Structure 1
Amino acid sequence: MSFLPTGTVYGVLLNFRAELEALAPQMSQPPYKAAPKAPVLYVKTANTWSPHGCAVTVPAGVPAIEVGATVAMVIGADGDVEGFVPMNDLSIPHASFFRPPVKYKCVDGFLGIGPAMRDAQEVADPAEFRLEVRINGALRQSVDFSQLVRNASQLLADVTEFMTLAHGDVLMLGCDAGRPLARPGDRIEVAAPGFETLSNTLVGEGA
């Protein structure tokens, strides 16, 4: 049976250096006038969850969607990390990074979830994770988790300073800059050494 979360799934913005650097000029302008001091979180609601192998429907009138390949931490009973799972945090392209609009991020089916959780005891250092995104078999993005602003342990510590994560909650490590676009009919694969490959196919609404 495919892995599915039993708690809340949280995404994290601006946790890759390249994305943070690209948006730095905007952060100095109103209304914020500075980079965020704490992790910027959003929720991927349960309606977005698409198990490995499922088709994901692209809404009518949307020509392409953004692929957000990442790895997520699965929270254990003691608030520690029980395991890791690859995810594909899909969204309709949009300009707002400070307050991600629900209508772009929480579309039905817009979170591909890896087929299996990798036990945390098997992972020496999450900074060694390397993801490859392939669309229709062609390599479109490589993601290096040594480039995180907050590594996995620091991210977890900073988040739990202001909120409690329950057993079964899931916290993504973030999505890197340069996220590729995919279109109806495309097959997206997110692969990484030590993980089972996550695959979903996009279909157009009404197809």
Structure 2
Amino acid sequence: MTTTAVPAAGAYLPQGTVYGTLLNFRSEFDAWAPKMNEAPYKAPPNAPILYVKPVNTWSTSGAAIPVPASAPQVEVGATIAMVIGDKPNTVAGYVLMNDVSLPHASFFRPPVKFKCLDGFLGIGNEVVDAAKAGDPSAFTLDVRVNGEVRQSSRFSGLVRNAQQLLADVSSFMTLQPGDVLMLGCDITADGARPLVKVGDRVEIRAPGFAPLVNTFVAEAA
């Protein structure tokens, strides 16, 4: 069943296309490096790897995210994203996001069915102005599941920092006003992402940002 996010009064929802970015944390890139020379690619990527999170995936902070009956657990993809300003390829601000996915075997080109299920993108309720947010390389965030810290990420560990990512993406496509570009999702020490199940409450916190909170519920029949 397709859902559309209904924001709380004054809550932010994207006005353009939301793009995710793969393999942009050094830890994740290095974990997958041994497989990068295997078929079908046979070489490390030389440009950002992007994918789209369409409108059916959007869930505002405070919303319940449905978990399919076929998936006992789903992955949390905590990140911070750039919101494009009034002029193409410029940054107006930053927003917290939870890029939820079904667990899958490859991050190189994940099928839509793993990442684009209804409600599978938690979105922070406010955009922090770029000038107020400061240097994105200094961003940090924590993922808390039922109050327990399960992941801590530092955006100083990006393969392409925010400025370089924007420049590289802009070299082959135009990011339009209202578009959103995620900086990427980190992995934990075991090479995975935090897993959650029905009944769990996930809170993503970053200094200067209002927390992004979502609960996970069983998908309606």
- 2:76 pairs with 1:75: no
Mapped partners of 1:141, 1:182: distance in 2: 12
Instruction: Please give the TM-score of this superposition, normalised by the length of structure 1.
Output: 0.98
- Matched AA of 2:19: Y
Deviation at 1:154, TM superposition (A): 0.3
Deviation at 1:115, TM superposition (A): 1.1
Deviation at 1:123, TM superposition (A): 2.5
Residues 159-204 of structure 1 show CA distances to partners (whole Å, capped at 9, x for unaligned) of 0000011000000000011210000000000001000000000001
SS in 1 for 2:27: helix
Mapped partners of 2:43, 2:53: distance in 1: 26
Mapped partners of 2:42, 2:155: distance in 1: 28
1:77-96 equivalent positions in 2, closer than 5 A: 77-79=86-88, 80-96=90-106
Identity %: 63
SS in 2 for 1:30: coil
Mapped partners of 2:110, 2:154: distance in 1: 24
Mapped partners of 2:153, 2:96: distance in 1: 12
1:155-170 equivalent positions in 2, closer than 5 A: 155-170=165-180
Q: Which runs of 5+ in 1 are unaligned?
A: none
Residues 2-25 of structure 1 show CA distances to partners (whole Å, capped at 9, x for unaligned) of 110000000000000000000001
Mapped partners of 1:15, 1:41: distance in 2: 10
Structure 2 counterpart of 1:13: 22
Structure 2 counterpart of 1:98: 108
Residues 55-107 of structure 1 show CA distances to partners (whole Å, capped at 9, x for unaligned) of 01001121000000000000011221000000000000001211111001000
1:58-207 equivalent positions in 2, closer than 5 A: 58-79=67-88, 80-178=90-188, 179-206=193-220
Structure 1 counterpart of 2:54: 45
Instruction: Please give the TM-score of this superposition, normalised by the length of structure 2.
Output: 0.92
Mapped partners of 1:135, 1:97: distance in 2: 23
Structure 1 counterpart of 2:3: none
- 2:27 pairs with 1:24: no
Mapped partners of 2:200, 2:60: distance in 1: 17
Structure 1 counterpart of 2:66: 57
Mapped partners of 2:121, 2:79: distance in 1: 11
Mapped partners of 1:124, 1:90: distance in 2: 26
Mapped partners of 2:158, 2:143: distance in 1: 18
Mapped partners of 1:36, 1:104: distance in 2: 21
Structure 1 counterpart of 2:4: none
Compute the RMSD of aligned alpha carbons.
Answer: 0.9
SS in 1 for 2:32: helix
